[in-house]
Structure 1
């Protein structure tokens, strides 16, 4: 068993390295977002968490193989997101004054004010979809951005990715959508489209950043492929 103490970047880095090895991952959420730990339902109480780590039975979860034209294959746990949210995440990671949810919210405001809609080509299990808007998210975990419920129906053990596409909308409405991410009610909006699949290819008509597990260091295109039950986790 390998114990990862940190946020989503640490969880994804360690969990990705263990994917497919048969080893077991234990998580102590100690970062800003802790979204994958939140998706697993891990308790915040130290005693309750210790009981799980000491006496829990490992359970298999899916991981996500990610690759692009310029990056080698990597494996992550939570999601791949390409668009204004990746730009917001980049701003949040560089923030020295704000921490936690506040840094993500401030980063989001900064990103939205400068964002212009991107034209995407999204291929889900071989079927191509066009999309113009703010982002495309291929979600294994339902949470990202420090507790925002981007994909309410996503499950870490169903062998599928939930693909959430948020179309272009006036900025005022987009800020409303950002607030609705707290509860997942944004999925009821006509500007939000959700697909499901096991392999997702995301391309765009210009240089669009994408991120994985809280880290942003690349631009589209990117391919995400689910690896069913590839990692054992205590939760």
Structure 2
């Protein structure tokens, strides 16, 4: 029998799916021979404190049950430690699980996948992004491995999928201000409203602390993973283990052209558009007036922000990279 596994549960994820998902996930882990305990928080701060306590207490794995918001909280507790992260994806977007090839909205299958990874050597090592406020300064972890570094000791924030800014972050801003309707339809309305008010954003980008660009853009997305928003492959060429962040810049393509390009994001074919540019960097500073950054779908704060790739920052309970992933 191995160390106790901690289920880190958001009971409200996916309109209540989180509460129901914990039981089949726990059953799958117990059936595989792992003792399981469940941790819930009264709010995000309390949940994160409990997750940190579980990691410091030597839990065999922290398994996040919920959506990308719960995964984001879990990352703040496990990144840079030897504690692996499992994901039972039952939220709205589930982009981190999609990037890893894990089951989505099937908690029993996700629980079995976590158990198989634990028995098969402890999963897969992947990179994470690290965000700091401001326009410079070297991350306490630099660009080297974070396996021996303690989490949270530099005031930064970890992310697994995409740091979004510009049009997409303004949609999030507007959607978060809307009380009705509920669910994803609220964000569909927010997209329409933002399209009506669309204006390009003047950006200042600093690539790898050396190259400075001043551009007008619709959005800039910084991808450790490929997708956000429930499968929108904004950084379709990103790999979780290449030591780099993919920076997708959608230029000033105008409202009509944006409407044409937008559906292509779900297939990742927007990267071929002449107004789309991709940079691969170890670090990026983003600055634009009146713009909020969103990392893993959660507010990361107003720009300027600096994001750095931290190779090997996380061990995740997931299968090895597919040949297609490895070839990127």
Distance 2:195 2:155 in 1: 30
Q: Does 1:160 align with 2:251?
A: no
Q: 5-14 or 194-203: which moved more?
A: 5-14
SS at match of 2:219: strand
SS at match of 2:266: coil
SS at match of 1:81: strand
Contact 2:207 2:283 in 1 (8 A): yes
Compute the TM-score of the two structures, normalised by the length of structure 1: 0.92
- Describe how 1:21-32 pairs up with structure 2 within 5 A: 21-32=81-92
Task: Quote how far apart the aligned CAs of 1:10 are.
Answer: 1.1
Relative to 1, partners in 2 of residues 1:172 and 1:106: Cα closer, same or farther, differing over 3 Å? Answer: same
Q: CA RMSD in A?
A: 1.8
Distance 1:4 1:148 in 2: 22
Q: Which runs of structure 1 show a deviation greater than 4 angstroms over 4 or more consecutive aligned residues?
A: none
Relative to 1, partners in 2 of residues 1:184 and 1:49: Cα closer, same or farther, differing over 3 Å? Answer: same
Say which one has the larger Rg.
2
Find 1:191's aligned residue among 261, 272, 275: 275
Q: Give the structure 1 partner of residue 168 of structure 2.
A: 85
Contact 1:104 1:145 in 2 (8 A): no
Q: Does 1:51 align with 2:134?
A: no
SS at match of 1:15: helix
Q: Does 1:74 align with 2:157?
A: yes
Compute the TM-score of the two structures, normalised by the length of structure 2: 0.67
Deviation per residue, 1:87-126 (Å, 9 max, x gap): 11233345542424x4433322222222321111111112
Find 2:97's aligned residue among 29, 37, 45: 37
Q: 175-184 or 48-57: which moved more?
A: 48-57
Deviation per residue, 1:195-223 (Å, 9 max, x gap): 0001110112x221211110125211000
SS at match of 2:75: helix
- Describe how 1:212-223 pairs up with structure 2 within 5 A: 212-216=295-299, 218-223=301-306
Q: 77-86 or 61-70: which moved more?
A: 61-70
The runs of 5 or more residues in structure 1 that have no matched partner are: none
Identify the structure with the greater helix proportion.
Answer: 2
Task: Quote how far apart the aligned CAs of 1:160 are.
Answer: 0.6
SS at match of 1:36: helix
Paired residues, number: 233
Q: Give the structure 1 partner of residue 203 of structure 2.
A: 120
Distance 2:74 2:97 in 1: 13
Identify the structure with the greater strand proportion.
Answer: 1
